[in-house]
Structure 1
Amino acid sequence: MDLIARLRAGLPGEAILTDPDITGSYANDMASFCEAGTPAVVVLPRTVEQVQHIMRTATELRVPVVPQGARTGLSGAANASDGCLVLSLVKMDRIIEINPVDRIAVVEPGVINAVLSRAVNEHGLYYPPDPSSWEQCSIGGNIGTASGGLCCVKYGVTAEYVLGLDVVLADGRLLTTGRRTAKGVAGYDLTRLFVGSEGSLGIVVRAVLALKPEPPGQLALAAEFPSTAAACEAVCEIMARGHAPALLELMDRTSIRAVNAMAQMGLPDSTEALLLAAFDTPEPAADLAAVGALCTAAGATEVVPAETAAESDLLLQARRLTLTALEKVKSATMIDDVCVPRSRLAEMLDGTAAIAEKYGLTIGVCAHAGDGNTHPTVCFDAADPDESRRARASFDDIMALGLQLGGTITGEHGVGVLKKEWLARELGPVGLELQRGIKDVFDPLGILNPGKLF
């Protein structure tokens, strides 16, 4: 019995896609420079039992399985391989429970981040992880790549909010990890093992997520600096003095000019770096005043604090438009996510500018400055082979720079296909051997997302 017939024995017809024109649209995520194959079939289950049937079938027939969420990823982790079964979880999109007493939500993997955020807000609660793609990305994808976001500096990343998981293993067994309680140290922390595993260890079909009380509204400020070094000095001072901004973002000169060109924001051409800070504390105006003074002391040429939520939104608009603006510079972009210690942030930005000059490319950098997570965005003409080659070379130089500064090759986008070689460099031979051993325990046949990570 062939693959499609086996699948039909446990799935409704509409859950199985075989038309090449349709299955081809599931071949890749949003990453550049990542090869993608042609899937044999795409399946869209709606229940745990259907996922179990799919995995049992794949194991019996030794068919590779590529799990997918909303495919907003930037590392090729969701890219298909030739002849694979693409397992799309977008139809498993129920919010099963929101519990204000226990401060948890129980959700399926296809739930969109923004949908969950708005649903818990109705209960006076808050789900902090907020990737830039929060209106499109799914919770399952967030878990698979251990996503971050703008508010990580105060509230942390996805891994800190995943309390428990239901996972369908490669052979179809259902594993439950973690807990619903605020505390729990029973056995090895398998939940954390799955967070960031990019679908290589199992298929997440349910998640128990921690929630916070909804914070007060934010107030923001924007500070203009004559150099990235001065802006990064301000970042270091803000953190060293014990301030807890809900958001601390930085844009370099290239990003500022791209936003000006697209949206006529009116930022001075002399501005080399723009620092944006926001507080959701009981007295945000006082916090902004203190941070504004630190920015001025570090060399800011102008500090503009907001007095209302509407003014705050206006100040933060430039940051939100950055990636869209950089995408208009050239026909293609390649977005990195190197994370370095805050104390080395200036070296990372200045080093990236030198790399851009070396290769004759436009590379804009926006950063979650509060946690050292930079997003160098390489702009290039995809139709120009030489420019594409230089773009890829610059990308590699940026990752090498991050490691040299004591950082990591990925703060929140994951490894996927794009950074396999660099993961091996970061982990070293012993770390890589142990990680491969863990993969073998959960997926002895190697059918789960093959060719990703390592």
Structure 2
Amino acid sequence: MIMSRIEAPRSEDTAETRDTAETRDTAETSGLTDRLLAGLPAEAVLTDPDVTASYAHDMASFCPAGAPAVVVLPRTVEQVQHVMRIATELRVPVVPQGARSGLSGAANATDGCIVLSLTRMDRILEISPVDRIAVVEPGVINAALSRAVEEHGLYYPPDPSSWEMCTIGGNIGTASGGLCCVKYGVTAEYVLGLDVVLADGRLMSTGRRTAKGVAGYDLTRLFVGSEGSLGIVVRAVLALRPKPPQQLVLAAEFPSAAAACDAVCRIMEGGHVPSLLELMDRTTVKAVNDLARMGLPETTESLLLAAFDTPAPAADLAAVGALCEAAGATQVVPAEDAAESELLLQARRLSLTALEAVKGTTMIDDVCVPRSKLGEMLEGVERIAGKYRLTIGVCAHAGDGNTHPTVCFDAQDEDESRRARESFDEIMALGLELGGTITGEHGVGVLKKEWLAREIGPVGVEMQRAVKHAFDPLGILNPGKVL
């Protein structure tokens, strides 16, 4: 295959043979580029190595990335089809990308691949208040869609912390979640239908735009979370909801993670349906204060944020506040208005960025456990941090049991980097021991391939590989990811 051909071992490696190999690789790249340019405008095909290198990886640590042969930025479905036909003919791997804000290496390039960046396919094609759907291209920014539908009195709930930069296509690829998932659910629940360009360039439509529909296998859900390994999403039909009332937020301080998690269990057991239930540990709170001078209470061991977007949010917050106090909260402070609520939410959204600033590099875990095991998860992470002598901050979608233990380390320190990786693995093992999963919303990518196999077992791996082969028999779509 072009730029990815497996060659027989050579008996010697001389300057002459290296020059010959480089000449051949340059020729192959040039041939690939010429074929791509036959169906693409010149500005859509990038070959400058300094430019293509900037597309080599997403935001994950400890994930290898190769050097792409070319970066293509299509604007139309037909252009994507052209790329895939050439890739199939020449056996060239293709790595689809959105904003590269992912945290598992799913968008990392492989050597000699075509990076297919979908960021220029960024049109909102339709918003229907009657059908409560939006039809969008994959490069639409999550926040841009949210603001556009809000003008029609509608709401698109999935809201990852990176919503100001992440794309809908990337959200679909990783089945992403967000702060409001505890009430409104994750991306998969809002994807009604897809147009997908397959590995050989054919265009397939899945799903529907109706409120109901059960015709055939649910191929739409199959593509959600597939990380670009089964096909290229070029259009999505998304479900919308009526815009809810403005939410109000409550902040509760706790003397321990166990007490905060007890409050979470009491809230959920009591039948409350908060629009948001988020947790930040002491390390995270301090990091946010250091970064943004937010004035959050650093005396607390755990800060729990609860929000309601009901017609009478103050009454709901009062009920939840009482449960927090019963669980041992030292202070419960409801926000007085929408502006104060937004300030608290901004602090939570800054958590991962703030933790990265602690040491310069982070490994962000994404372990989801049953809510009833949330306290054990946080206590276990604290033990692991002590064992490996590392700073590990935890922020969590507490209402879902989805934790983000974030290992802070100096990437230039070899020993600290080793300890960071070992602690990361131990945290994932703990999650599985508690009946959880290795990823709640960030995906598998490169980072968690081995752990996926442990979670789903050999039969699960065999069946998933069979699905992959059915859609991508040549193995050119995002190779080396997921499985």
Shift of 1:8: 1.1
Contact 1:228 1:346 in 2 (8 A): yes
Aligned to 2:345: 316
Superposition map of 1:50-449 within 5 A: 50-449=79-478
3-state secondary structure, aligned to 2:359: coil
In 1: Cα distance, 2:296 partner to 2:87 partner: 55
Question: 1:264, 1:176 → 2: CA distance?
Answer: 48
SS in 1 for 2:215: coil
Judge conservation of contact 1:285–1:307 (CA < 8 Å) in 2.
no
Match 1:47 to one of 67, 71, 76: 76
Identity of aligned residues (%): 83
1:3 aligns with 2:26: no
Residue 277 of structure 1, CA deviation: 0.3
Q: CA deviation at 1:188?
A: 0.1
**1:399-451 per-position Cα deviation (integer Å, ceiling 9, x unaligned):** 00000000000000000000000000001000000000000000000000000
String of CA shifts for 1:27-66, please: whole Å, max 9, x gaps.
Answer: 0000000000000011111111111111010000000000
Name stretches of at least 5 consecutive residues in structure 1 with no aligned partner. Answer: none
AA matched with 1:14: E
Q: Aligned AA for 1:364? A: G
Distance apart, 1:325 and its partner CA: 1.9
How many Å separate the matches in 2 of 1:134 and 1:373? Answer: 18
**SS of corresponding position for 2:237:** strand
| Deviations, residues 322-349 of structure 1 (Å, cap 9, x unaligned) | 2222122102111111100000000110
TM-score, with normalisation over the residues of structure 2? 0.93
Whether contact under 8 Å (1:67, 1:87) holds in the other structure is yes
Which has the larger Rg?
2
- Match of 2:350, SS state, is helix
Specify the alignment match of 2:12 in structure 1: none
| Aligned match of 2:10 | none
Unaligned 5+ segments in structure 2 are 1-27
Q: CA deviation at 1:319?
A: 1.6
Q: Which amino acid aligns with 1:305?
A: P
RMSD value, Cα: 1.0
- Per the normalisation by structure 1, the TM-score is 0.99
SS of 2:437's partner is: coil
Matched position secondary structure for 2:368: coil
- Using the alignment, how far apart are the partners of 1:116 and 1:134 within structure 2? 10
- Count the aligned residue pairs: 454
Paired amino acid for 1:200: S
| d(CA) in 1 for partners of 2:226, 2:343 | 37
Counterparts of 2:170 and 2:366, CA distance in 1 = 17
